[in-house]
């Protein structure tokens, strides 16, 4: 007979978890949700400052979404999109997405996760260049610390060592260029603009070294999320985009986190004036209530798919659950709520409270850098404010902070480099932002006391 702690782990593999150390801990078992709070099996409430995994944009108890799912389940619980058939609701969702896209788009192709849609983007880039008689133009440039998912192709685009190691990834066609993190990788005294210029030059040098005839596309999140909430330096995309044009590369924009209001703009592409050829969305498309994602493609791309069918007989791609009616209904209802509840205006009103509240903690001895826009933010913890040196990974400072926050009923996510991420539900109120910042401030203080007790050197000049 397994005891309770062992039983919690016996049958379950936790993704992105240290499975060795976790064997000695209890999982945090969540049983309910209420607004921006989740509730564990002991009835304790946590302010979910990450909206789960950046996705529960409408919190954890939006009745309208439950009703939309139930209605759809009663009307048409499943149908597929193969062979010229399609659920009616999925057509409605396609049109809604194309109408709201940040740049003219031709068609939408559905899947069930960000990873799958990015994987599909890779396939389309290759398909397109074969169709256009450029079979050697296949390499895709992503960025260090970018996150695009975990399928074989999307994990290859992801720029995090832990997603590659021992999985025999990345695939040889995937390359990684610089991470645009000015605070961490800018040279001493280098302005954001000069940093952006240097990174653009490095990108061009990489393309020339590889051979422009072999480089097909560039993929980027407008703001790198899981890599550490990295806001691009001023002029970054203005510098990068002309290079993509010059070498006839497709621009794939991963809007999986930024999409649907996170930054106070409908898409990250609106914030930075990007015009993607291919664009992936997931997460907040359905407020996280149902697994659904989409790849939006420009008309030029969708025209090629049509043309190829003449040659190949069919577009040979699609998942059983591509355009599944239940997630489609929930997504459509989510988009209606965003519009009816003026979610962008709300994010623009409360976002600055979060940003200012966190920036007010900038003088805290552990805080190296505070950054963000709208309702996405990060606080980077350092051992030495002047040199920006991190704590050694073995110090466990991030894990300690996460533990203290959790004790105080706050869920945040600490990423590699002791970067604390915030991405609360978009419905968070001004008072709840104050609550969030208060709890985080207390967690910082508790972490500082803990670090001092352990004799960790902290240079808070």
Enumerate binding residues for ligand PMP (CB under 6 A): 53, 113-115, 118, 147-149, 221, 225-226, 254, 256-257, 282
Other C-beta atoms lying within 10 Å of the C-beta of residue 356: 12
Least distance to ligand PMP from the beta carbon of 227, Å? 9
Cβ distance to ligand PMP smaller for residue 257 or 448 = 257
Least distance to ligand PMP from the beta carbon of 148, Å? 5
Least distance to ligand PMP from the beta carbon of 283, Å? 7
Cβ distance to ligand PMP smaller for residue 222 or 325 = 222
CB–CB of 322/80 below 8 Å? yes
| Whole-number Å distance between alpha carbons of 173 and 138 | 7
| Whole-number Å distance between alpha carbons of 172 and 153 | 10
Least distance to ligand PMP from the beta carbon of 317, Å? 17
Least distance to ligand PMP from the beta carbon of 115, Å? 3
Least distance to ligand PMP from the beta carbon of 113, Å? 3
Least distance to ligand PMP from the beta carbon of 226, Å? 5
Q: Are strands 376-381 and 278-281 parallel, antiparallel or unpaired?
A: unpaired
Cβ distance to ligand PMP smaller for residue 328 or 397 = 328
Least distance to ligand PMP from the beta carbon of 230, Å? 11
Which of 33, 32, 35, 30 is closest to 428 using CA atoms?
35
Structure token pair of residue 109: 């192709």
Cβ distance to ligand PMP smaller for residue 114 or 261 = 114
Residue 327 φ/ψ, nearest 5 degrees: -60, -35
Q: What is the DSSP letter of 255?
A: -
Structure token pair of residue 341: 């509840």
| Whole-number Å distance between alpha carbons of 214 and 129 | 10
CB–CB of 348/264 below 8 Å? yes
Q: Are strands 419-422 and 376-381 parallel, antiparallel or unpaired?
A: antiparallel
Structure token pair of residue 180: 């645009």
Peptide bond into 170 cis (omega under 30): yes
Cβ distance to ligand PMP smaller for residue 114 or 228 = 114
Least distance to ligand PMP from the beta carbon of 87, Å? 21
Cβ distance to ligand PMP smaller for residue 151 or 390 = 151
Least distance to ligand PMP from the beta carbon of 147, Å? 5
Which of 428, 334, 332 is closest to 376 using CA atoms?
428
Cβ distance to ligand PMP smaller for residue 94 or 293 = 293
Residue 180 φ/ψ, nearest 5 degrees: -85, 50
Give the full edge-to-edge strand order of the sheet including 419-422.
367-373, 376-381, 419-422, 413-415
The residue sitting closest to ligand PMP, measured at its beta carbon, is 114
Cβ distance to ligand PMP smaller for residue 253 or 305 = 253
Give the list of residues 6+ apart from residue 74 with CB closer than 8 angstroms, or none: none
CA distances from 171 to 145, 154, 155 (A): 16, 10, 9
Cβ distance to ligand PMP smaller for residue 257 or 427 = 257
How would you write 137-174 as a 3-class SS string?
CCEEEEECCCCCCCCHHHHHHCCCHHHHCCCCCCCCCE
Cβ distance to ligand PMP smaller for residue 59 or 114 = 114
| Whole-number Å distance between alpha carbons of 105 and 302 | 9
Cβ distance to ligand PMP smaller for residue 57 or 447 = 57
CB–CB of 310/130 below 8 Å? no
CA distances from 268 to 158, 292, 340 (A): 18, 19, 21
Least distance to ligand PMP from the beta carbon of 237, Å? 16
């Amino acid at each position: 007979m397994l005891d309770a702690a062992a039983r919690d782990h016996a049958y379950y593999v936790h993704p992105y978890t240290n499975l060795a150390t976790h064997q000695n801990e209890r999982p945090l078992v969540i049983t309910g949700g209420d607004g921006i709070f989740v509730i564990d099996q002991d009835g304790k409430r946590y302010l979910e400052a990450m909206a789960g995994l950046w996705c529960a944009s409408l919190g954890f108890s939006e009745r309208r979404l439950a009703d939309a799912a139930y209605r759809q389940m009663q009307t048409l619980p499943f149908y597929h999109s193969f062979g010229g058939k399609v659920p009616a609701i999925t057509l409605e969702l396609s049109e809604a997405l194309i109408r709201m896209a940040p740049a003219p788009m031709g068609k939408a192709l559905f899947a069930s996760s960000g990873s799958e849609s990015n994987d599909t983007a890779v396939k389309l880039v290759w398909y397109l260049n074969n169709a256009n008689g450029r079979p050697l133009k296949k390499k895709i440039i992503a960025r260090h610390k970018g996150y695009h998912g975990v399928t074989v192709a999307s994990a290859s685009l992801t720029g995090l060592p832990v997603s590659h190691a021992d999985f025999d990834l990345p695939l040889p066609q995937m390359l990684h260029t610089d991470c645009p993190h000015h605070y961490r990788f800018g040279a001493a005294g280098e302005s954001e603009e000069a940093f952006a210029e240097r990174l653009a030059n490095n990108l061009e040098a990489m393309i020339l070294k590889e051979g422009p005839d072999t480089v097909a596309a560039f993929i980027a999140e407008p703001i790198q999320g899981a890599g550490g909430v990295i806001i691009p330096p001023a002029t970054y995309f203005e510098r990068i985009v002309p290079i993509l044009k010059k070498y006839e590369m497709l621009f794939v924009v991963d809007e999986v986190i930024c999409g649907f209001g996170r930054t106070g703009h409908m898409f990250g592409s609106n914030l930075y004036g990007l015009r993607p050829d291919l664009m992936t969305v997931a997460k907040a498309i359905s407020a996280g209530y149902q697994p659904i994602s989409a790849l939006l493609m420009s008309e030029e791309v969708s025209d090629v798919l049509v043309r190829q069918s003449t040659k190949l007989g069919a577009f040979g791609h699609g998942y059983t659950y591509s355009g599944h009616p239940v997630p489609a209904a929930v997504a459509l209802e989510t988009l209606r709520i965003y519009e009816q509840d003026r979610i962008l205006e709300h994010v623009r009103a409360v976002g600055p409270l979060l940003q200012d509240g966190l920036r007010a903690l900038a003088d805290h001895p552990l805080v190296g850098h505070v950054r963000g826009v709208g309702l996405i933010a990060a606080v980077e913890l350092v051992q030495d404010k002047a040199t920006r040196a991190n704590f050694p990974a073995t110090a466990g400072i991030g894990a300690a902070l996460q533990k203290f926050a959790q004790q105080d009923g706050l869920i945040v996510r600490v990423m590699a480099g002791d970067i604390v991420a915030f991405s609360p539900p978009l419905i968070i109120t001004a008072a709840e932002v104050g609550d969030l910042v208060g709890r985080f401030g207390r967690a910082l203080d508790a972490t500082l006391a803990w670090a001092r007790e352990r004799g960790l050197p902290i240079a808070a000049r």
